[in-house]
């Protein structure tokens, strides 16, 4: 089955700086990689996703890169703001089943 | 966008009782829904995949007789925690995705269960 590893588990950056979160996956057939943001006590919300036919996708301050050969993908947040503070999860599908597997999460804190 | 609701949003029950949580897709039909459990400061752990009209598929280590899942219609899946104990206290979240190619999963708002 799919195994998704995420790091770092915690990340603290100065407001205005960039934050990078990295994930690796094991199932080479996986073709969809979403990133979710979860605030305390709330549901995860999709912030960006990427499919395996592209290597990079950007949406304003958020970008995701994918390296299929190395089986890793990363989330990049630029010009961080206090409202970016949350827990971020990467995920990848298990190709043999209709389910996605989540990484362990990264708690991002933005220092004023 | 697709909307998923959950009810109740929180519940407190006594040890040994059963609790039912409902998950509804409000504006789309979901042949498959997913149930997750999330303990404090941990990731979402998939408990089971709920298939409309058939038995749920449980993840390894999840007791199917304790966590009863019913997906009776294309818009409703229920999770019943039977004989709940304090260690079952957690945040339970359901999700569904649109049929077809892999795409966004839409999450319910979650149910916080506290077992006394």
Please compute the mean of the pLDDT values over residues A27-32 and round it to a whole number. 86
Q: What spatial distance separates the first Cα and last Cα of chain A, rounded to whole Å?
A: 41
Question: DSSP 3-state assignment of A16?
Answer: coil
Tokens of B29: 């039909």
pLDDT, tens digit, for every residue of A35-83?
999 999 999 999 999 988 889 999 999 999 999 999 999 999 999 999 9
**Cβ-contact A1, A98 below 8 angstroms:** no
Q: Is the pLDDT of residue B105 over 90?
A: no
Please compute the mean of the pLDDT values over residues B62-91 and round it to a whole number. 94
Name chain B contacts of A31, Cβ cutoff 8 Å. Answer: 102
**Cβ-contact A48, A64 below 8 angstroms:** yes
Q: Is the pLDDT of residue B44 over 80?
A: yes
Tokens of B99: 């049929």
Please compute the mean of the pLDDT values over residues A11-38 and round it to a whole number. 95
Mean pLDDT for all residues in chain A: 93
Of residues A44, A45, A99, nearest to B46 (C-beta): A99
CA distance A19 to A80: 7
């Amino acid at each position: 089955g799919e195994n998704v590893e995420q790091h770092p588990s915690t990340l603290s950056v100065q407001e205005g700086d960039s934050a990078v979160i990295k994930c690796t996956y094991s199932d080479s057939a996986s073709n969809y990689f979403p990133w979710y943001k979860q605030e305390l006590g709330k549901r995860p919300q999709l912030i960006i996703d990427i499919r395996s036919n592209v290597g990079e996708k950007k949406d304003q301050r958020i970008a995701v890169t994918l390296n299929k050969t190395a089986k890793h993908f990363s989330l990049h947040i630029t010009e961080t703001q206090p409202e970016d503070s949350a827990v971020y999860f990467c995920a990848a599908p298990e190709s043999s089943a209709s389910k996605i597997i989540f990484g362990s999460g990264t708690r991002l804190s933005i220092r004023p | 966008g697709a909307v998923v609701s959950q009810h109740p949003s929180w519940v407190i029950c006594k040890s040994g009782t059963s609790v039912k949580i409902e998950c509804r897709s409000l504006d789309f039909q979901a042949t498959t829904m997913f149930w997750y459990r999330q303990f404090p400061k941990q990731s979402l752990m998939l408990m089971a995949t709920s298939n409309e009209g058939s038995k749920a598929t449980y993840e390894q280590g999840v007791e199917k007789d304790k966590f009863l899942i019913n997906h009776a219609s294309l818009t409703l899946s229920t999770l019943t925690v039977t004989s709940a104990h304090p260690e079952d206290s957690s945040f339970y979240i359901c999700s569904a995705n649109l049929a077809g190619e892999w795409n966004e999963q839409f999450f319910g708002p979650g149910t916080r269960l506290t077992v006394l």
